[in-house]
Amino acid sequence: MKNTNEPTFLTGLVLVLLVSTATFSSDVYLPSLPEMARCFSISPQTAQATLTVYMLGFACSVLLSGSLSDRWGRKKVLSIGLSLHCLASIACLFSPSILFLICARFLQALGGCCGTVLARVIVRDSYDQNTSVKMLSSLSAGLSMALVTAPVLGGVIQTHFGWRGSFVLVSIFSLSLLILSCRFIPETLHPKDRGNLKLKTIIASYGLALKNKNFIGYTLIISLAWGAFFAFVSASPFIFIKTYHFSPRNYGLAYGFTILSYILGALIARKYSHKTSVYQFVRAAVVLSFCAGIFLVLAPLFNYTLLYVCTFIFLYIGAIGLVMPNCQAGAISDFKTSIGTVSSLFYFIEMIFGAIFSFAVGHLFNGNFILSTVTLMCASGVLMLLVLGVLSPKAFKLKVRI
């Protein structure tokens, strides 16, 4: 029988930290990317590849961790993932070359993203629906805090300790979290509920999902939105520090302020999810993204004025905050079974788009990051609007609050 009581403070805190691990590890070193490029005597595009590879590791982790935990249990897979994340973070710290760092970043994502996936699974294993909704909301709030605070903290660390300082912090964070999870997170999957990893069944579930109109439509929209978002994330250190001559500390503050719009969008989605259909929410967000993208692609006419660019990026990312939870609900709305497997495929496709956009933003227009960013965000808005035409406008409601 599932628990109706909320977890203890320490258990809840560990779950929040687990779900934030991947985001924190990715964003805390963003202010250090230009300095990293200088130290290794490499191009900004090569330094930015550490983010692209991280997304690929994230995608693989999302695809594997859920299925592996169904076979071997949540705690075992979580402990292995956090151990890998800790070792890879230490490897990042002592990287002698950029190639070594890129490989270590892949392993860091492969291990750390287990926490992001399994923290939510553990909540669903352990608590009834009402308690789960409260806990998942707390996890979302913790993830939002990581999005805002990680680059701010990274800017301070870069100013005083250099780029390796961020990986010192991540290594300590990872080791501490491994110890805490071993102490406070129990095994939540009963032995009788553990299944066999049957590749044939998994592939059949993937095939079923890829034939579903709503799954394809909502997955493409959220993937394009995430791609645009991660293009901005990947390019933002070079845009603010190199183009607008921000210090690493001020870049962290500017980035954190921009991400507040994402949180605002997610809060609006949560507040009104029971009043408006998923399709209507997504349609409004896509139209806002499209309009903001059109204004962004006109930025060269205004000499990339800082206020102009930041205003429309702020609006665009706010629209992404609206899109994310609603597309997640819409994509799996037609499925009654194999929801975990379908969700894994959904997140895998989303992260692959993030990797593609991250690579593209560094290689379009001869490395002109700001032009590449506004172009990709505009193109994503246009494509999302086109994809919206394949979706069914049926007015199903979200079954739980986001």
**pTM of the model as a whole:** 0.86
Same fold, 8-197 and 199-402: yes
Architecture of domain 199-402: Up-down Bundle (1.20)
What pLDDT sits at residue 7?
64
Write phi, then psi, for 127 (nearest 5 degrees). -125, 160
**At which residue do the structure tokens 């939105």 appear?**
225
Least confident of 167-176, 272-281, 349-358, 380-389: 272-281
What pLDDT sits at residue 303?
92
What pLDDT sits at residue 280?
81
Model confidence at 208, pLDDT cuts 50, 70, 90, reads confident
Architecture of domain 8-197: Up-down Bundle (1.20)
Instruction: Tell how far CA 27 is from the center of its chain.
Output: 10
Burial of 193 from C-beta contacts in 10 A (0-12 / 13-18 / 19+): exposed
pLDDT exceeds 80 at position 199: no
Model confidence at 360, pLDDT cuts 50, 70, 90, reads very high
Domain spans in the chain, listed from the N-terminal domain onward: 8-197, 199-402
Model confidence at 192, pLDDT cuts 50, 70, 90, reads confident
How many residues appear in the chain? 402
At 322 the three-state DSSP class reads helix
Average pLDDT over residues 224-237: 93
Paired residues of 3 in beta bridges = 127
Q: 186 with 59: CB under 8 angstroms?
A: no
Contacts of 301 (CB under 8 A, 6+ apart): none
Q: Evaluate the CA torsion angle 356, 241, 94, 118 in order and state its sign.
A: negative
Supply the DSSP string of 326-389, one letter for each residue.
HHHHHHTTT-SS-HHHHHHHHHHHHHHHHHHHHHHHHHGGGG-HHHHHHHHHHHHHHHHHHHHT
pLDDT exceeds 80 at position 146: yes
What pLDDT sits at residue 179?
94
Residue 126 CB neighbour total at 10 angstroms: 20
Residue 134 CB neighbour total at 10 angstroms: 15
Q: What is the CA radius of gyration of the chain?
A: 20
Contacts of 297 (CB under 8 A, 6+ apart): 374, 375, 377, 378
In 3-state terms the chain splits into helix, strand, coil percentages (rounded to 5) of: 85, 0, 15
Q: Give the residue among 257, 240, 218, 255 at the shortest CA–CA distance from 394.
A: 218
Q: Which two tokens stand for residue 209?
A: 């999902």
